[in-house]
Structure 1
Amino acid sequence: MTRQLRRPPETQDLSRESPTVSVVLLSYNRPDYLRQAVASIRAQSYRSIELIVVDNPSPSSAEIAETVAAQGNVRLIRSSVNSGYAGGMNRGIESAAGRYIYLTEDDIVLDKDCIRHLVEYAKERQSGGLVSPVMYNKTEGTIRCAGGEFALGAVYRRRTHGEGERDTGQFARPFNVTYIDGATMFARADLFRRLGGFREEYFMYVEAVEFCARALKAEQTLTVIPRARVYHFEPPADANASANF
């Protein structure tokens, strides 16, 4: 079941030249990776960024709070219960004051121009849909996900573009897909709220595909921007953390 997401009490960003992007970073039990993820966001060439870290409770929650506090200008939302990806991201979306929202996780670092490329594309095309960078495996350098495809009515079955491939220029231009990974999702804030956020009865993995299905049914486009890049730590940074996210 979807729900009506609250708007934050702050005045919404109205800047036309450099609209604020609220980066919602979901964290669970990986403080060392979180430090690197936060550092990559703070190093973005696009400067109009609001960073919100949502911590699903874990044995490392105290250390995560210290990590965030040491960064400065980072907002921490500490969940009282582990509500998984869907619940955590919904908390962040509700708190976001920017015109755009970018969703990411603590085991992903962003190329320094990632947010700038996403904003430029959204502004140039007046994109009202979902947009994503290409995700690479950080150590191997191979492509991890360049969006994907699934059939409406079969959200449990999907095909990921580029998985395990070397980048040989096969994704040179923006292209449309039917699936975007939930850890690389960019859109206008009003679209996330209009679609009702993520369904919290799905704890992990299926919720992003189901959200994409609702976006498609609402006649939204889903686009991958190859010049925007992010890097995922692999193998999974912490198998136990991944199992409990």
Structure 2
Amino acid sequence: MKKVSVVILNWNGAEMLRKFLPSVVKFTNSELAEVCVADNGSTDNSVEIIQNEFPMVRLIVFKENYGFAEGYNKAIDFVDTEYVVLLNSDVEVTERWIEPVLEYMESNSDVAACQPKILSYRNKSLFEYAGAAGGYMDKYGYPFCRGRVFDSVEEDKGQYDSPAEIFWATGAAMFVRRDLYKEVGGLDGKFFAHMEEIDLCWRFLSRGYRLMCIPSSTVYHVGGATLKKENPRKTYLNFRNNLLMLYKNLPSRELDKVMRMRCLLDYLATVFFLLKFDFANAGAVIKARRDYKSMRTDFKPLREANLRLSKVDKIKFRYGFSIIMKSKLLGKKTYSQMISK
């Protein structure tokens, strides 16, 4: 029986499937893993391309677009392997990309999820924005990576080639134990897209599991293929979902203080957009805060459950500093500089 299901969630990505699926088929050991495409209600010819050009790929078809989070939740219900890889449709994989991650997880039962080293498809000497060599978070919910702090992306010179514990594994290429994924509730479908993998990883960590980056596995990610950088819709989802994630997971002793600071930082972001005459993104931040407040009551039961099931008082790798302060005021642009004293 195969141990791994590689699940690619597709929505109107016909050309990306033609471009990137061949590497997944070629470099995925068919004795070890199956390759699945879950079509999220596409209106292009994605389904026909899979059926006609990739008959070796398992096809799962949904009649509507459930978004990234709920789409993966529904797709994972269709597989029964021990491990699942959530793989974006714009990822090129490399030879033996599965084996080192699987070997590590097989040897470490307390590891819930892993990610490979993720480099940019457009410039393969650089780390990729969404995940790089593993993700972390500052005190106020801002994510950063080994290899990327805000928009400062490092060149890969082997500086992060050692396996490392991380706070979050990117949803662009996340290896996860299927039973634990189901146990903690999977990705939060109410998020629709963005921040949902960090929220999931926070739940894993709070319940005593570890997360890892295994850089001996390497993939190349285009990134931004669905919503481009600083797209107002992306800005809205990132700000709203980040606030919801903090509300769901922060310990009670921190919640009010962190949220007061986030309110200030979010309005500073609004001013920043206005100074650039970017009224659409400024409006997206305001709308995100307004909708967070209206949605918060619906998330109260999830918050209570997360706090009740938490086994860890203080989670590692959620650092106690502000990356805005360190990056914007102190000029620290790399992960190594960020965590240095």
> Is TM more than 0.5 here?
yes
- 1:51 corresponds to which residue? 35
Q: Quick one: structure 1 residues 215 and 151, their matched pair in 2 at CA, closer, same or farther if it must change by over 3 Å?
A: farther
Task: Please say if 1:77 is aligned against 2:60.
Answer: yes
- 1:119 corresponds to which residue? 102
User: C-alpha displacement at 1:127, in angstroms?
Assistant: 4.9
User: C-alpha displacement at 1:45, in angstroms?
Assistant: 5.3
Q: Secondary structure at the match of 1:129?
A: strand
- 2:22 corresponds to which residue? 39
Q: Secondary structure at the match of 1:91?
A: helix
Q: TM-score, normalised by structure 2?
A: 0.61
- 2:84 corresponds to which residue? 101
| Among 203, 209, 225, the residue aligned to 1:237 | 225
User: Which runs of 5 or more structure 2 residues have no equivalent in the other structure?
Assistant: 235-341
Deviations along 1:168-223, one digit per CA (max 9) or x if unpaired, are 11112100010111121102211111111111000111211110111111111010
Q: Quick one: structure 1 residues 72 and 221, their matched pair in 2 at CA, closer, same or farther if it must change by over 3 Å?
A: same
Q: Secondary structure at the match of 1:90?
A: helix
- 1:187 corresponds to which residue? 176
Q: Secondary structure at the match of 1:170?
A: coil
Q: Secondary structure at the match of 2:17?
A: helix
| Larger Cα-atom Rg | 2
| Among 114, 118, 126, the residue aligned to 1:135 | 118
- 2:286 corresponds to which residue? none
| Among 162, 168, 185, the residue aligned to 2:147 | 162
- 1:10 corresponds to which residue? none
User: C-alpha displacement at 1:112, in angstroms?
Assistant: 1.9
- 1:226 corresponds to which residue? 215
Task: Please say if 1:200 is aligned against 2:189.
Answer: yes
Task: Please say if 1:146 is aligned against 2:171.
Answer: no
Q: Is the 8 A contact 2:111 2:211 kept in 1?
A: no
Q: Quick one: structure 1 residues 237 and 198, their matched pair in 2 at CA, closer, same or farther if it must change by over 3 Å?
A: closer
Flag the structure with higher strand content.
Answer: 1
Q: Is the 8 A contact 1:28 1:106 kept in 2?
A: no
Question: How many residue pairs were aligned?
Answer: 222
Larger CA deviation: 201-210 vs 38-47: 38-47
User: Which runs of 5 or more structure 1 residues have no equivalent in the other structure?
Assistant: 1-12, 14-18
Q: Secondary structure at the match of 2:197?
A: helix
- CA separation in 2, counterparts of 1:45 and 1:185? 15
Q: TM-score, normalised by structure 1?
A: 0.83
Flag the structure with higher helix content.
Answer: 2
Q: Which has the higher contact order (CA 8 A, sep 6+)?
A: 1
